[in-house]
Amino acid sequence: MLFLTILLSLSIQKSTCYEIEPMFGQKYIQFPTSTNNSLAQKHFIFGLAHLHSFEYSFASEQFEKAYSLDSKFAMAYVFSALTNIQPVWLGENPKAGWEQIKQMNLHIDFEKLTQREQLYVEAGRNLFKRGILHYNDYINSLKIIYDLFPMDNEAGLFLVCVLFRKTQPEIRGYLNRNSQGRQLQIKILKIILKTNPNHPGALHYFTHVYDQPQTASCALSNTLKYSCIAQSSSHAQHMSSHIFLRLGFYRQALIANLESDEIGMNIQRQYHSIEFMHYIYLNMGRRTYALQFLENLKSLINNNTFYRMQYGIMYDRHIVETQNYNFAFDNPFDLIICSECTVLGDLLWLYQINSGLLLVKGFSTIKNDQQYNSTIVQYYIEQLVNMSIEVNKTEPTLSISILAMTLQLKAFHQYYRLATTNDEKNLALNYARIANELELSVNPPSYGPPIDPVKPSQELYGELLLENKQYEKAIEEFLHVMTYFPNRTLTLIGLARGYSLLNRTNLARLYYSCLINDVLYNS
């Protein structure tokens, strides 16, 4: 709201050297066009800054202002069309993009455009041709522009951005990760940042490319710079929390999301920040705050599917992280049906939530003496198996992840309810071990909370080993988890308990004090 007011006053003001503009990093974006209308050009650059921060509706608003001031403004139409693809979030609206291209075709003088502009127009036409997306044609068009105009940062950055469609590392089930694509992204980003070290798009995409446990620390300085130069962008504020969490800095991650939430912008992104905060609070010993987020959402779950899904994802996580197995019975919640989930991003999200839900319902049934019923647990296992088969063809890696969850649930059931002999307990441990292998085979550990509501298989395996008095082995598993999800409360507890049971008091004290000092005290 505040943002709109500022923008409004901006367009009325005559430009002065000292006007206070919201900061999206727009001043680091150069994109000369053949419009003669300087105000239109200004809106256009603003739109680009928004687009590079994934603020799609704000970007499209700016582009619309630009072409309403200059109806022949070809680049404004092209980039407005681009607001209809969201490569990192796997969202897309090809029909709307095509409408935008058709509108452009009616207005522009193609012959009068520069060669570079003509190539962009063709890139946009190729991408949305007849309302069907042609990503490879678009990628090839961008490569041609970038080859011919290597100083055009935007050509390089649009290429980096659309390649996320192939390399996007966060989402389970999207790990046919194309390493060539990733190498190209890194190469382009490094070249651009050398000459334009403050470009908001380059800093933002750099963060996404490196948003993995093994590489997150390389992104830290660029991420911090991004949140600084794009101070008015809620996404830029949120983005650094991805990197902080990879590095185990919960407190900093919390602050980043609080700042993002304060800026607001749109409801989807606000809830994304809230779900991060919910996970963070759960790992800072602030269960009451975390619970409050869930309770606040509860009243909205009948309003629409978006709220149901947002509640579902936090619900799964709540039970995984608190291990409060009464919660599911005190707050019954069923699998989500979503007929409007058609784009890939939504479908993946739906499967993530529902598979997580089956898992936590299963855990809860197993651990609750009043509610335990083996038939019901078997039913949840069967539903997970069916879900894994359902996505076998289209999302093979998601399918394997869900299979891993099936084995987690089998391990849990076998260990806590079915096994009586040592051999039977070993069978349970074996399920957990296979779950871990499956999970690692498709998801070199870069998935996971808070993007995904999952129980890290390795942590589960460690917990079962601990129960089985195999302390050294349990510690080994927990130490592994620390390398990709550092400072998770449950992992720290596992380590502290393991060392304590081995009478290695100093190390036990170290991990207990990590929990108390670093996590609880600092919160």
Ligand X SMILES: *[C@@H]1O[C@H](CO)[C@@H](O)[C@H](O)[C@H]1NC(C)=O
Q: Which residues bind ligand X (CB under 6 A)?
A: 34, 36, 72, 248-249, 300, 303, 373, 375-376, 379, 382-383, 386, 392, 396, 399-400, 486-487, 502-503, 518-519, 522
In angstroms, what is the minimal distance from the CB of 490 to ligand X? 14
How do 85-86 and 91-92 pair as beta strands?
Answer: antiparallel
Of 461, 420, 423, 419, nearest in space to 440 by CA? 461
Beta carbon nearer to ligand X, 13 or 221: 221
Q: What share of the chain is helix, strand, coil (3-state, %, to 5)?
A: 70, 0, 30
In angstroms, what is the minimal distance from the CB of 369 to ligand X? 12
Beta carbon nearer to ligand X, 137 or 518: 518
For residue 285, report the phi and psi dihedrals to the nearest 5 degrees. 70, 20
Beta carbon nearer to ligand X, 9 or 36: 36
Alpha-carbon distance 448 to 321, whole Å? 13
Beta carbon nearer to ligand X, 38 or 375: 375
In angstroms, what is the minimal distance from the CB of 277 to ligand X? 16
In angstroms, what is the minimal distance from the CB of 180 to ligand X? 23
Alpha-carbon distance 274 to 259, whole Å? 11
Which residues, other chains included, contact 400 with Cβ-Cβ below 8 Å and sequence gap of 6+?
388, 438, 439, 441, 442
Sign for the CA dihedral angle at 202, 203, 206, 211 comes to negative
The 10 Å Cβ neighbour count of residue 326 is 13
Which residues, other chains included, contact 386 with Cβ-Cβ below 8 Å and sequence gap of 6+?
none
Which residue's beta carbon is nearest to the bound ligand X? 248
In angstroms, what is the minimal distance from the CB of 244 to ligand X? 9
Beta-bridge partners for 86: 91
In angstroms, what is the minimal distance from the CB of 392 to ligand X? 4
In angstroms, what is the minimal distance from the CB of 310 to ligand X? 12
In angstroms, what is the minimal distance from the CB of 477 to ligand X? 16
Alpha-carbon distance 224 to 259, whole Å? 13
Burial of 305 (0-12, 13-18, 19+ CB in 10 A): middle
CB 61 within 8 A of CB 83: no
Write the DSSP string, 360-394.
HHHHHHHH-TTT--HHHHHHHHHHHHHHHHHTTTT
Place of tokens 């197993």: 366
In angstroms, what is the minimal distance from the CB of 400 to ligand X? 5
In angstroms, what is the minimal distance from the CB of 398 to ligand X? 8
Beta carbon nearer to ligand X, 239 or 404: 404
206's tokens: 């750099």
Place of tokens 């957990």: 432
Beta carbon nearer to ligand X, 92 or 261: 261
Beta-bridge partners for 85: 92
Per DSSP, 129 falls in state G
